Chains A and B, each alone.
Chain A
Amino acid sequence: MTSRSPSAVVATAALAVVLLAAAVQVQAARERVYPPAEVTEESLVLSSASAVRRLTGAYNTLFADVYWIRAIQYYGGTKHKIDAAVAGQGILAEPPASLAADAFPVLYPLLDITTTLDPRFNIAYRFGSVFLAEPYPRGADRPDLAVALLEKGLR
């Protein structure tokens, strides 16, 4: 059966809109009853830079960009969280000491993967070492890792 009348098109479009809206409503209801788990911790599934290099094959530099964006977003996001925690305690409060030990645990691995995938990514060495070397709470307070990253860049 073929139907080419405009009313059939309109009816089908209306039906599709109703069905899509119903699906969205059911999903929203499900999320209210069974809330999805919140992803709070930034984690790195693949921590071996050379493994990532193998997996990405001919598209190394594109994935270097992806890891660079992740590193920037991770640095900015964590710093935002620390700032918010400080602001919550009053103007003169110290940043929470609980975070100080290792505030940016995956920052160095992210930068390491970025620079292994694209060894000529100068900005990643330059900005990355600043993020690593800055004392807490502005950075990771890991000058040793910053030096390691810069030395990797010199090779």
Chain B
Amino acid sequence: MRVTAAIAINVFRESVRDKVFYNLVLFALLMTASSYLIGQLTAGQDVKIIKDLGLAATSMFGLFIAVFIGIGLVSKEVERRSVYSLVAKPVSRAQLVLGKYCGLALTLGANMAVMAIALYAVLAYSSWGVSAQARAAWDAPALDPALLKAMALIFGELMLVTAIALFFSTFSSPLLSAALTVGLYVVGHFSADLRNFQQVLDSPAAVALARGLYWVLPNLAQFDVKSDVVHGVHVPAGYLAMTGAYAALYIAMLLSIASLIFSRRDFK
């Protein structure tokens, strides 16, 4: 446990040194500039658009961090040969993989916490002094706590994407891992189409194959409640819990395979 925590904290430190958190400056600039510009461009719906933009930017920035740091977590250690000194220490390879994963999770969590605060600050600013009549036209209040639900599910999705990236990075080159991870991300958002394949296919075997793929591939579309939250549609706690449990199980599966592959690798 202490070993895993030590590795995780070092991954966090490394990401701070790699200036990962500079993306927050970009996020803050984007949100401030857009809150001003959108007010000029649209008629009365600026709070909704700022919410859409803030949630979309949170998930996109997080995706970039998850993919591009996730793919380097293990492969960079191997490439730089710093893994030799690590495996010579009393650290099991599973602990190493888990520690690396938790470190990036910590980085992403800290990043998203700051983004959430920034989004609420911009929303507070743009809803300042808006008349009660104009507020009545909004689907949800500006400082809606439900936004945190959407943020929590985005975090769950990013955790899953990180696990996918880490999984690929234990046996593949960084470039290929990035391509595969992004590919799975896209597939994960469209996998619902696989479920309804019987509408376009006649062959029962092909339908069964598509159905099977639908259940096996990571279903990322279920983490997307941005639209519901922005329109004030209630997202039940049970939905959050079940989606979170799905993410936890899938991540555990990926990490156990990743540590198995990594522990079988021979470093020469």
Contact = CB atoms under 8 A, between A and B. Distances in A.
A58 B224 CA distance: 7
B44 interface: yes
A84 B186 CA distance: 47
B122 to A, nearest CB: 15
A9 interface: no
Contact of B226 (A54, A57, A61, A127): A61
Interface residues of A, number: 18
B43 A59 contact: no
Contacts of B42: 65, 68-69, 72
A118 B229 CA distance: 13
A62 B48 CA distance: 10
Contacts of B56: 59, 61-62
A4 to B, nearest CB: 22
A73 interface: yes
Nearest to A58: B189
Interface of B: 38, 41-45, 48-49, 52-53, 56, 59-60, 137, 139, 186, 189-190, 220-221, 224, 226-227, 230-231, 233
19 contacts: A58-B189, A58-B220, A58-B221, A61-B52, A61-B56, A61-B226, A62-B53, A62-B56, A64-B52, A65-B52, A69-B38, A69-B41, A72-B41, A120-B139, A120-B227, A122-B139, A123-B44, A123-B45, A127-B43
